[in-house]
Amino acid sequence: MKKILVTGGAGFIGSCFVKMLLKRKSRKHIVILDKLTYAGNIKNLEGYIDRDCVEFVKGDICSTRLLDNVVPGVDIIYNFAAETHVDRSILKGASFVRTDVMGTYTLLQKALEYKVSRFVQVSTDEVYGSLDKGKFSENDPIEPNSPYSASKSGADLLVRAFYKTYGLPAIITRSSNNYGPFQHPEKFIPLFITNALEGKPLPIYGDGKNVRDWIYVEDNCRAIDIVGRRGKIGQVYNIGAAEEKENVYIARKIIKFTGADKNLLTFITDRPGHDRRYALCARKLKSLGWKKEYTFNKGLGKTVKWYQENKEWWQEVKRGSFKKYYRKMYGKRIAASREEKAKK
């Protein structure tokens, strides 16, 4: 029986990945290791962690002692665990360096020591930096612009080094922006959907013309699974759905889908170092047989519906420490934007 370790499995993408694995009939034992930071939520796994083939361990990927208990006997590791929000990394980056760099290093060491047969590092297109035209390919240089993407880049380089130096059978996936159910409302799409449902401002950074290449979370999880099974050791695989959209286009779509007042759209001071555009070439991934199932329109419609039907989930998340973060991040910028509008 295959023993699979999913770190960060209580987060947005990790929990979707666990659910996808469980839908499959094959015999397996899944160990979910998650620190349950503010971003982790055990409710994301409701109805799944009480199964016999699933074991949930609350803990830190930086703990060698814990990994000495968890990693022996594991066949494949999927490392989703990370600090993930760019804006938080700009406010305070230490936890990003700790988890994304040191945590990955600790996990790599233990994967090597306990002879894990595959290590899949879940990385991001943000490591490439920003580009005006064209698409990033796996051979492009790493040029990160935020403490988050710099930490993820550090992890990618360590994964590469463990493959080159020690022959660790590792693979890296670099996906574009995910969206879908269970995404923390600090991120753009769920923040805008939930604020629209609450009649609150939709705080758009700068001119709103930054572009991201959006992928529905289930499409990314299927891709990570395919790369884990069919990908070539030592390689990097981009995961993108070729759905490039400007932020302001998405904001207007969300207003339309939710029926919110269009005056909620509020342009505020830009994010420092804000990457203008991401776009990925996913040819290498497609050669493994992957194809997206969701267009942006279909995925966004499904996502809005989920947030409309699962208010309890996000209202609880928004009630906690999120309130303080939201005030700090948006309070003055929204007020300044209102003042400016009033002057005109």
Matching residue, tokens 């070729």: 242
Q: How far apart, in Å, are the Cα atoms of 13 and each of 131, 136, 224, 308?
A: 25, 22, 10, 20
Name the catalytic one among 126, 156, 186, 244. Answer: 126
Binding-residue pattern over the window 39 to 78 for ligand DAU, x denoting contact by CB under 6 A = ----------------------------------------
Binding-residue pattern over the window 179 to 208 for ligand DAU, x denoting contact by CB under 6 A = --------xx--x-----------xxx---
Residue 68: active-site member: no
The 3-state DSSP class for residue 52 equals coil
Q: Are 213 and 176 in contact (CB under 8 A)?
A: yes
Separation CA 266–CA 213 (nearest Å): 22
Residue 261: active-site member: no
Residue 326: active-site member: no
How does 181-218 read in b/e, with b if 16+ C-beta sit within 10 Å? Answer: bbbbbbbbbbbbbbbbbeebbbbbbeebebbbbbbbbb
Give, as ranges, the residues between 209 and 248 that touch ligand DAU (CB under 6 A).
210, 212, 247
CB of 332 to ligand NAD, least distance (A): 25
Instruction: Rule CB under 6 A: say whether 176 interacts with ligand DAU.
Output: yes
Q: Please tell me what DSSP assigns to residue 141.
A: P
Separation CA 22–CA 28 (nearest Å): 9
Q: Which of 177, 194, 238, 266 binds ligand NAD (CB under 6 A)?
A: 177
Out of ligand DAU, ligand NAD, none, which partner does residue 247 contact, by CB within 5 to 8 A per kind?
ligand DAU
Instruction: Rule CB under 6 A: say whether 84 interacts with ligand DAU.
Output: yes
Per CB under 6 A, which region of 64-72, 109-117, 119-127, 300-308 contacts ligand DAU?
119-127
Q: Are 215 and 241 in contact (CB under 8 A)?
A: yes
Matching residue, tokens 């609450």: 198
Instruction: Rule CB under 6 A: say whether 114 interacts with ligand DAU.
Output: no
Instruction: Rule CB under 6 A: say whether 32 interacts with ligand NAD.
Output: no
Binding site for ligand DAU (CB under 6 A): 84-86, 124-126, 176-177, 187-188, 191, 203-205, 210, 212, 247, 271, 278
